[in-house]
Amino acid sequence: MRLTILGGGGFRVPLVHRALLADAVRGDAPISEVVLYDRDAARLRAIGAVLGRQRDAHRAAHGEPKLTVRAEADLAAALDGTDIVFSAIRVGGMAGRVLDERVALSAGVLGQETVGAGGISYGLRTVPVADRIARTVAERAPGAWVVNFTNPAGLVTEAMSAVLGDRVIGICDSPVGLGRRAARALGLDPREVSFDYAGLNHLGWLRGLHAGGRDRLPDLLADEAALTSFEEGRLFGAAWLRALGALPNEYLHYYYMAREAREAVAETVAGGGPTRGEQITAQQREFYRDAAGRPADAFALWDRTRLEREETYMADNRRAAGGVERAEEDLDGGGYEKVALAVMRAITRDEPARLIVNVRNRGAISGLDDDAVVEVPSLVDASGARPLAAGALTAHQSALVHAVKSAEREVLAAVRTGSRTPALRAFAFHPLVDSVTTARTLLDGYLAAFPELREVLPRP
Ligand code: G6P
Ligand code: MN
Per-residue pLDDT band for 407 (boundaries 50, 70, 90) equals very high
Q: Which helix (H) or strand (E) holds 270?
A: helix 258-270
Is the beta carbon of 172 within 6 A of some atom in ligand 1?
yes
Q: Which amino acid is at 228?
A: T
CB 200 within 8 A of CB 387: no
Peptide linkage before 152 cis (omega within 30 of 0): yes
Q: How confident is the model at residue 27 (pLDDT cuts 50, 70, 90)?
A: confident
Residue nearest to ligand 1 atom 13, measured at CA: 313
pLDDT one-digit tens code per residue, 66-125: 999 999 999 999 999 999 999 999 999 999 999 999 999 999 999 999 999 999 999 999
Pocket test of ligand 1: the residue of 15, 172, 281 to mutate, having most ligand atoms within 8 Å of its CB, is 172
DSSP 6-33: ETTTSTTHHHHHHHHHHHHHTS--S--E
313 lines ligand 1 (CB under 6 A): yes
Q: Count the residues in the chain.
A: 460
User: In the structure, what pLDDT confidence band is assigned to residue 418 with cuts at 50, 70 and 90?
Assistant: very high
From 45-59, 69-83, 241-255, 328-342, the region with the lowest mean pLDDT: 328-342
Asked whether 276 lines ligand 1 (CB < 6 A), one says yes
What does the alpha-carbon distance between residue 344 and residue 447 come to, in Å, rounded to a whole number?
38
- At 138-189, the pLDDT tens digits run 999 999 999 999 999 999 999 999 999 999 999 999 999 999 999 999 999 9
d(CA 77, CA 177): 35
Spatial CB neighbours of 415, under 8 Å, sequence gap ≥ 6: 124, 127, 128, 131, 159, 456, 457
358 lines ligand 1 (CB under 6 A): no
CB burial of residue 277 (10 Å; 0-12, 13-18, 19+): buried
Which residue, judged by its Cα, is nearest atom 12 of ligand 1?
313
How much is the ipTM here? Answer: 0.98
Residue with the smallest CA separation from ligand 1 atom 15 is 313
151 lines ligand 1 (CB under 6 A): yes
**Is residue 47 pLDDT above 60, yes or no?**
yes
Q: Is the CB of 90 under 6 A from ligand 1?
A: no
Give, to the nearest 10 degrees, the angle between helix 93-106 and helix 117-140. 150
